[in-house]
Amino acid sequence: MQGLFITFEGGEGAGKSTQIARLAEHLRAQGHDVLVTREPGGSPGAEAVRHVILSGAAEPFGPAMEALLFAAARNDHVEQVMRPALRSGRMVLCDRYIDSSRVYQGVTGNLDPDLMRAIERSAINGLMPDLTIILDLPAEVGLQRANARRGEGTADRFEKETIDMHHRRRDAYLAIAKAEPDRCSVIAADRPAGEIAREIAALVDKLKVERRAIAQQPAEVAR
């Protein structure tokens, strides 16, 4: 049976990595083979592009250049790593995916929606997430957390931007969730990590039961 594809989204400091690790632990305890991966990156080709983007080397060439680079990295990651993993029945948990491009490049990069849709289609070739967890946090709280975590380290290309930009990104994520309620679940992220982890585990367990029920239906009903 095909594995489940779950993506995690949210602004800086929303706690994605903590929650991905907790969900991976939960699923492994149930006996699943889990792949934890991230974007930009996740395959050798995509990791090479990641460095170009996050160092800021592509920034002078504009948001369309960056959007295409994210998409090139995504296509490699999808075809080399994630689609094969899902086909072999693994659970794939990915830190950021299409919604990051929709929000960071499409909304705050002001790129043309038609261009963004075309880029997305060719990057993923139909590989939509079964579930997208949007960890939602007031922009100020997320930035404080990201700054604390970074300490003396330098901010990457996207962490340096203004608070207004972070507000717009939060709104954009919430708009995606509203437009695609079957795929997206918004989880309030300014709560204890254990509480959030339990909520996410319950969502995923429910989705597994639903998928199993669909797989077991006779062909005529399933259609």
Minimum gap (Å) between residue 209 Cβ and ligand TYD: 30
Q: How far is CA 176 from the centre of its chain?
A: 13
63 vs 208, beta carbon nearer ligand TYD: 63
Compose the 3-42 pattern: x for residues touching ligand TYD by CB under 6 A, - for all others.
Answer: ---------x-------------------------xxx--
Pick from 63, 68, 79, 156 the residue near ligand TYD by CB under 6 A: 156
* C-alpha torsion sign, points 105, 155, 175, 2: positive
CB of 53 to ligand TYD, least distance (A): 7
- Contact criterion met (CB below 8 Å) for 19 and 196: yes
**Cα distance between residue 68 and residue 70, in whole Å:** 5
Q: Is 158 in the site for ligand TYD (CB under 6 A)?
A: yes
Spell out the SS3 assignment of 37-73. Answer: EECCCCCHHHHHHHHHHHCCCCHHHCHHHHHHHHHHH
Binding mask 89-108 for ligand TYD (x = CB under 6 A): ------xx---xx--xx---
Q: Which amino acid is at 52?
A: V
Residues that bind ligand TYD (CB under 6 A): 12, 38-40, 54, 70, 95-96, 100-101, 104-105, 156, 158
